[in-house]
């Protein structure tokens, strides 16, 4: 998977890398990995790409936050995905929603508008024509949740 973009900022590249990892992870149906397993698998995944250290660090932080808080993240997505069960979502949509929700809920150093814009751009690159609007329709209300506005930090970060 590649966006074909000639230049990505370090954080854009990190989100893309985290998305690709979570997409593959979801496809392989791995469940309840330990933090060390996540780091090991992520290192293997990242070794296939030439990526700056700051991108790798942000991507790993995003992956670990997403997987360690998956129940909370999935509950938040379910709450706002009207008429959609999480199981019915495609892997692309689910992976994008999960990393964006993790970023909205747990990364207080990133403005919600930046997260929304960056995930919509990834949705344009990797999803179907209607994916960006679908993703934005779920993430916009999540960004206004009290948890997201407080910038809560997960315990394992």
Write the pLDDT tens digit of every residue in 36-59: 888 888 888 888 887 788 888 999
| CA 145 – CA 140 distance, rounded (Å) | 9
* The model's pTM: 0.86
Sequence-ordered alpha helix ranges (H) in the chain = 10-27, 35-46, 53-68, 70-80, 91-106, 112-126, 131-143, 146-150
| CA 41 – CA 85 distance, rounded (Å) | 28
Domain boundaries along the sequence of the chain: 10-150
Q: Check residue 38 and give its pLDDT.
A: 85
**Residue 4 confidence class, pLDDT cut points 50, 70, 90:** very low
| CA 87 – CA 56 distance, rounded (Å) | 29
Indicate the burial class of 49 (C-beta count within 10 angstroms; 0-12, 13-18, 19 or more): middle
- Report the CATH number of the 10-150 domain: 1.10.940.10
Q: Provide, rounded to the nearest whole percent, the portion of the chain with pLDDT above 70.
A: 90
């Amino acid at each position: 998977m590649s966006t074909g973009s000639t230049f990505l900022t370090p954080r854009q590249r990190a989100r893309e890398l985290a998305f690709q990892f979570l997409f593959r992870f979801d496809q392989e149906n791995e469940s309840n990995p330990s933090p060390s397993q996540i780091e090991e698998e992520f290192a293997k995944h990242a070794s296939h790409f030439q990526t700056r250290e700051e991108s790798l660090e942000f991507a790993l932080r995003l992956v670990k936050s997403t997987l360690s808080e998956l129940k909370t993240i999935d509950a938040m997505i379910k709450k706002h995905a009207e008429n959609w069960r999480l199981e019915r979502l495609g892997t692309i949509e689910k992976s994008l929603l999960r990393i964006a929700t993790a970023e909205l809920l747990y990364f207080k150093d990133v403005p919600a508008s930046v997260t929304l814009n960056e995930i919509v751009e990834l949705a344009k690159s990797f999803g179907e024509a209607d994916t960006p609007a679908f993703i934005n329709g779920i993430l916009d209300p999540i960004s206004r949740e009290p948890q997201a506005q407080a910038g809560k930090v997960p315990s394992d970060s």
